[in-house]
Amino acid sequence: MFTSVSIAAIDGFEIRRTRGASALSASARSAARAYKPIRAQRTGMSETDSADEAANDPADLLPNDRVKQSALDGDVTQLHRGNRYGEEGDTFEIDGVTFELTEVTERTLGDMTDEDAKREGSPSLEAYKERMVHAHGGSFDWDDDADVVRHRFERAE
């Protein structure tokens, strides 16, 4: 059974955040988290800052229309981000289609492979690196040691 948490219309897409039956309760998840979100580690923000809370919402995982459409088309099935946007079992909706987070793993950029890049919609890791520079307005330096979180997702049945 799913419990709806929030609904928003963003850039013409309906985004709905829900928690799956397999997800931990908020209090259990909070108690189980001994980590600080990666952005909090880098910026000194606390775990309770509102910016951290928004960053951890699965509905905000996909950053733009192109990525949302690519997920709907099945071309994007994972995304690396600087923060954790949910836990395994959390769900989000795009235009009425429900997706479930199937794996959420802390890694470094240096752990990424060509296969990761393909799952994120790029033909190769080199193309992915170039896309990141472009997406960040030219101000992105690839650092193999930079912490990221891989979010794998699939359409929920």
Note whether residue 28 is domain-resident: yes
Local structure of 84: helix, strand or coil: coil
Contact, 23 vs 87, CB < 8 A? yes
Residues 43-65: pLDDT tens digits?
A: 333 444 444 444 468 889 999 99
Domain span including residue 77: 3-107+149-155
Tens of pLDDT along the chain (157 residues) come to: 344 444 444 444 444 444 444 444 343 333 333 333 333 333 333 444 444 444 468 889 999 999 999 999 999 999 999 999 999 999 999 999 999 999 999 999 999 999 999 999 999 999 999 999 998 888 889 999 999 999 999 999 7
Give CA–CA dist 13/72, Å, rounded: 11
Note whether residue 141 is domain-resident: no
Kindly report the number of other CB atoms within 10 A of residue 155's CB atom. Answer: 12
Burial per residue of 24-58, b for 16 or more beta-carbon CB atoms within 10 angstroms, e otherwise:
beeeeeeeeeeeebbbbeeeebeeeeeebeebbbb
- Stated pTM of the model: 0.67
Domain count, the chain: 1
Note whether residue 95 is domain-resident: yes
CB neighbours of 23 closer than 8 A, spacing ≥ 6? 29, 87, 88, 89, 90
pLDDT for the residue numbered 157: 78
Note whether residue 120 is domain-resident: no
Note whether residue 126 is domain-resident: no
